[in-house]
Amino acid sequence: MKPITITDVAQHAKVSKSTVSQYLNKRYDYMGESTKLRIEDSINELGYQPNYVARSLKQKSTKTIGVIVANILHNFSTEVSRAIEDACHVDDFHLIVCNADDDPHKEKKYIDMLRAKQVDGIIIFPTGGNIDLYEKMLREEYPVVFVDRSVPGLPVSSIMLKNEKAASMAVQHFITRGYRRIAIMTTTLTRSVTPRIERIEGYKDTLTRYKLPVRDDYINSVPRSDIQMQLDRMLQLDDPPEAILAGNDLTLIEILKYTKQHDIKIPDEIAIIGIDDVSFASFYTPAITTISQPTFEMGKKAAELLLYKIRQQKAEDQHPDYRFEPTLIERDSV
């Protein structure tokens, strides 16, 4: 079945393609009322749908943006993506979401694919493994915004949590409740990743501020698959920690699996706070105290910033990173 094109509509309405195009783009300024009506009728009668691909080619804009998340398994990624989608929707922009799976090769593949598809800009949760590619995009004045992690040296702002503050709030909460031996557990990646570094920094600073010792054997950064083992090691220390700060949702899940399996009571035997709110936090037993990120605002800001760059046709921005406030949600795991 042959699709209806603008030519068919023009013939049917007995006007030129140009006039139909004017109509489609709502340039009614000089259009006769009867012409307008004839075109409208023809469109309905033929069931005409404009071909965006053709339009995009001519206009050099697809009204589509790409989002590449570092790892879709983090709840944070999904929530931010959804907020980005909502914000784009207002301006009639569409989204293509890709998952780099913490792999710079995949990230590069997706960047290339999205650019070949001519998306108007990309929001990246950077793996950190493609610095020269990010630089190249910038040289080509291609609109990019970073989320969750920053890329030092690039004049592109990143939308991030106040990570140090988040860790600090958690540690302070532990301290207030009387805990002194406080550990932190994060997942590790081969590349250095802003949130992890800053959260550990905030953790250390806060301990120091409260004159508590900073112990290396309480600071863990291991691959997700090794978390259970690492907990084993840490809890067998002579003076094991009484509290653990989970650096993100996946880490928290591994810790809960461990405590469940070894029948360790929370918070009596070990207190827990997780950064990132998880779906089951409120109805887990015990309900889990978390530090949540304002994912909705962060996604919105990322979208707005990217759309702004797209409109201004600029890639750089002089603004420092945008930092968002963490929120402590007190529940029963501390």
Partner DNA sequence: CTGAAAGCGCTTACAG
Residues that bind a second copy (CB under 8 A): 1, 3, 47, 49-54, 56-57, 62, 64, 72, 78, 82, 94-97, 99, 112-113, 115-118, 136, 139-141, 253, 256-257, 260-261, 278-280, 282-285, 287
User: Which of 209/311 has CB closer to DNA?
Assistant: 311
Which phi and psi angles does 115 have, rounded to 5°?
-70, -35
* Residues in 37-96 at the binding interface with DNA, rule: CB under 7 A: 48, 50-51, 54-55, 57-60
* DSSP state, residue 149: S
Cross-strand bridge partners of residue 67: 97, 123
DSSP string, 321-332: -EEE--EEE--S
Residue 78, binding choice from DNA, a second copy, none, Cβ under 5 to 8 Å by partner class: a second copy
User: Which of 35/163 has CB closer to DNA?
Assistant: 35
Alpha helices in the chain (DSSP H): 6-13, 17-24, 33-46, 52-59, 75-90, 104-116, 131-139, 163-176, 194-209, 227-235, 249-261, 295-312
User: Which of 34/285 has CB closer to a second copy?
Assistant: 285
Output the six-digit token pair for 137: 């995009």
Number of residues that bind DNA (CB under 7 A): 28
Residue 140, binding choice from a second copy, DNA, none, Cβ under 5 to 8 Å by partner class: a second copy
- Whole-number Å distance between alpha carbons of 290 and 330: 7
- Whole-number Å distance between alpha carbons of 101 and 180: 36
Taking Cα atoms as reference points, which of 165, 68, 62, 81 lies closest to residue 109?
A: 68
Residue 94, binding choice from a second copy, DNA, none, Cβ under 5 to 8 Å by partner class: a second copy
- Whole-number Å distance between alpha carbons of 29 and 319: 40
Which phi and psi angles does 160 have, rounded to 5°?
-140, 160
User: Which of 25/282 has CB closer to DNA?
Assistant: 25
Stretch that binds DNA, among 5-13, 84-92, 152-160, 249-257 (CB under 7 A): 5-13
- CA 56, 59, 62, 63 torsion-angle sign: negative
Residue 192, binding choice from a second copy, DNA, none, Cβ under 5 to 8 Å by partner class: none
User: Which of 113/197 has CB closer to a second copy?
Assistant: 113
Exposure class string for 143-158: b at 16+ Cβ within 10 A, else e: bbbbbbbbbeebebbb
Residue 15, binding choice from DNA, a second copy, none, Cβ under 5 to 8 Å by partner class: DNA
Q: How far is the CB of 20 from DNA (least distance, A)?
A: 7
Q: Are 228 and 258 spatial neighbours (Cβ–Cβ below 8 Å)?
A: yes
Residue 115, binding choice from DNA, a second copy, none, Cβ under 5 to 8 Å by partner class: a second copy
* Residues in 7-46 at the binding interface with DNA, rule: CB under 7 A: 7, 14-19, 21-22, 24-25, 30-32, 34-35
Q: How far is the CB of 57 from a second copy (least distance, A)?
A: 5
Q: How far is the CB of 96 from a second copy (least distance, A)?
A: 6
Stretch that binds DNA, among 2-10, 65-73, 247-255, 261-269 (CB under 7 A): 2-10
- Whole-number Å distance between alpha carbons of 180 and 212: 7
* Interface with DNA (CB under 7 A): 3, 5-7, 14-19, 21-22, 24-25, 30-32, 34-35, 48, 50-51, 54-55, 57-60
